Amino acid sequence: MNGVGLQARRFGAGSPFDWPVAIGYERPPLACLAIGGFAATAGQPGVAHGIFGWVAPDGTTTNTYVASGILAFILPVLNSYNWQRVYPSFPVASGENISGFPTDPYTNNAPFPLHVIRPGNPVIPAVLGTFNSKFPNGAMVGQPVWVDPDTGLPYGSQESPTYLQTGWTVMRSGGACSILRIASLMPPLTN
């Protein structure tokens, strides 16, 4: 074939699996919904996406640790209504609030703004895959990814004894507040 009229392969165009190379993805992420008689939804006071969270047995998702929950990387459900479902949450220290509420209900302890999915809206918890996430303190290639159980933020080392090790590995090095690639299918190069 001469390629006339052929289009590039699209992985579920218009769905959460449409991740173009132009924004840094070589292949579509592998995502898995938690098993159960429910769809995962953002719990109170909302859930930040692009970082880790826990899916409770009833399907509500939060960025704080849930004892019987499933650890997952939180993705939004993509469609034309995202502007209604997601709002930027600025760090508590900045004092900014554009959440639409008198005070931002989501306590953002990160050193950078986060996008928060409003409570009750659907989310996609990915338990496997390759994603980009912002690291507050940076990380080096090959380090295991650790997560703060109070915020869901990723770290490249166990900076606190309460941090939990995930099944992800850092695939791109960077400094503080860098967007780094993480992958669940690559074993850590370090302990």
pLDDT by residue (tens digit) across 63-77?
Answer: 999 998 999 999 888
- 8 located within any domain: no
115 belongs to a structural domain: yes
As a residue count, the chain comes to 191
- What is the distance between the alpha carbons of residues 156 and 76, in angstroms, rounded to a whole number? 24
Distance CA 155, CA 150 (A): 13
pTM of structure: 0.77
State residue 11's pLDDT score.
38
The answer to whether residue 11 is domain-embedded is no
What's the total number of domains in the chain? 1
Q: Is residue 89 predicted with pLDDT exceeding 70?
A: yes
- Asked, for residue 95, whether it belongs to a domain, the answer is yes
Res 176: pLDDT: 93
DSSP the chain: ---TT-----SSTTSTT---GGGT-SSPPP--PPSSSS--EE-TT-EESSSEEEE-TTSEEESS--TT-EEEEEEEPPSTTHHHHEEEE--GGG----SSSSS-SS---SSS-EEEEPTTSBEEEESS-EEEEEETT-B-TTPEEEE-TTT--EESS--STT-EEEEEEE-S-B-TTEEEEEESSS--S--
Average of per-residue pLDDT across 135-157: 94
Any domain includes 190? no
Is position 64 within any domain? yes
Alpha-carbon distance 78 to 71, whole Å?
21
Residue 155: which of 63, 21, 52 has the closest Cα?
52
Domain that holds residue 38: 23-183
121, pLDDT greater than 80: yes
Q: 121 in a domain, yes or no? A: yes
Supply the mean pLDDT for the chain.
79
Could you tell me if residue 7 is inside a domain?
Answer: no
